[in-house]
């Protein structure tokens, strides 16, 4: 059992990231953050729930992706994780934690806005891991715009949709033929799909598309014995946040949730483990909110 599950006051379990100049250059590196996220490096304890499984995690270099990779490895899974070229150092650090758990780690630099790149990721996973049991479509792009639609360029909208929605489609289409009954697809949506912030209009739209796609995909794949579910996080402290928001928004990041704080990536990982394991065998087309109390209805 993970130390993080010891009884604590959830509103005080993790401190707020704090104020001050914490902005970093996009796409954001963990080492550049003044307040480093908790990925469960020192707390997550596995119990063999994913023993022998082969997982692909996009955006696995940092944030939620790193926390999921560490948890999956400690539960017995081998992991292929994708990252951008600029995130190689973070990806190598995640891979180090996976290997310390005694599992195989494969890192792949990939531009997921290109369909060929998505297919290459799947082919690499099949070649190096032998198969795909769990596909975690987690990589995402956002850029906050104070004036909403007035400031969203065609180029930004295109990048958001290709990274968050198109890549998910391309990855699923390529991976499903290699997945056996009992395999799972897990997408990362967001509370933004249900409670959109005006300054994240295009990002919120993409997350709503992910919810709809995942629900439909679950029904589409049910007869093949493959499940598809989504995790909808609230505010989570990852490198993407200081890389895409101004100092004013960072000062209050997470304060809008009923718990009054942002989540740490380590608090998300157990939900992905649950959806990847047989413990959730009768669940498909579901969206699990991890929002600190904000509604996803």
Enzyme catalytic residues:
203
- Say if CB 135 and CB 175 are below 8 A apart: yes
CA distance 37 to 23: 14
- Around Cβ 165, how many Cβ atoms within 10 Å? 20
What is the rounded CA–CA span in Å between residue 45 and residue 145? 39
How far apart CA 121 and CA 127 sit, in angstroms, is 10
71-74 CB contacts, 8 Å cutoff, 24+ apart:
71/40, 71/44, 71/46, 71/269, 71/270, 71/272, 71/273, 72/98, 72/134, 72/272, 72/273, 72/276, 73/46, 73/97, 73/98, 73/101, 73/102, 73/103, 73/105, 74/44, 74/45, 74/46, 74/101
The answer to whether 76 and 103 have CB atoms below 8 angstroms apart is yes
Q: CA dist 125 to 26, 44, 77, 249, 274, Å?
A: 27, 25, 13, 38, 22
């Amino acid at each position: 059992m993970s130390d993080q599950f010891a009884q604590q006051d959830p509103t005080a379990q993790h401190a707020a990231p704090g104020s001050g100049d914490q902005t970093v250059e996009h796409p954001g590196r963990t080492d550049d953050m003044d307040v480093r996220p908790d990925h469960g490096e020192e707390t997550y304890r596995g119990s063999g729930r994913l023993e022998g499984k082969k997982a692909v995690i996009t955006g696995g270099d940092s944030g939620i992706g790193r926390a999921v990779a560490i948890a999956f490895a400690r539960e017995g899974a081998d992991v292929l994780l994708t990252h951008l070229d600029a995130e190689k150092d973070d990806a190598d650090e995640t891979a180090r934690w996976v290997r310390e758990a005694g599992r195989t780690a494969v890192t792949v630099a990939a531009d997921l806005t290109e369909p060929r790149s998505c297919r290459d990721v799947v082919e690499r996973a099949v070649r190096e891991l032998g198969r795909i049991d769990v596909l975690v479509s987690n990589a995402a792009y956002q850029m906050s715009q104070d004036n909403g639609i007035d400031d969203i360029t065609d180029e930004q909208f295109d990048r958001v949709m290709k990274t968050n929605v198109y890549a998910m489609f391309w990855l699923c289409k390529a991976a499903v033929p290699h997945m056996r009954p009992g395999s799972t697809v897990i997408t990362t949506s967001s509370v933004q799909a249900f409670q959109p912030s005006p300054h994240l209009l295009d990002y919120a739209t993409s997350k709503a598309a992910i919810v709809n796609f995942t629900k439909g995909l679950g029904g589409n794949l049910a007869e093949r014995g493959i499940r598809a579910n989504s995790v909808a996080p609230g505010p989570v402290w990852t490198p993407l946040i200081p890389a895409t928001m101004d100092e004013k928004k960072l000062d209050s990041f997470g304060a809008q949730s009923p718990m009054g704080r942002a989540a740490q990536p380590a608090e998300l990982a157990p939900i992905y483990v649950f959806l990847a394991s047989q413990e959730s065998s009768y669940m498909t087309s579901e969206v699990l909110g991890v929002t600190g109390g904000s509604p996803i209805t």
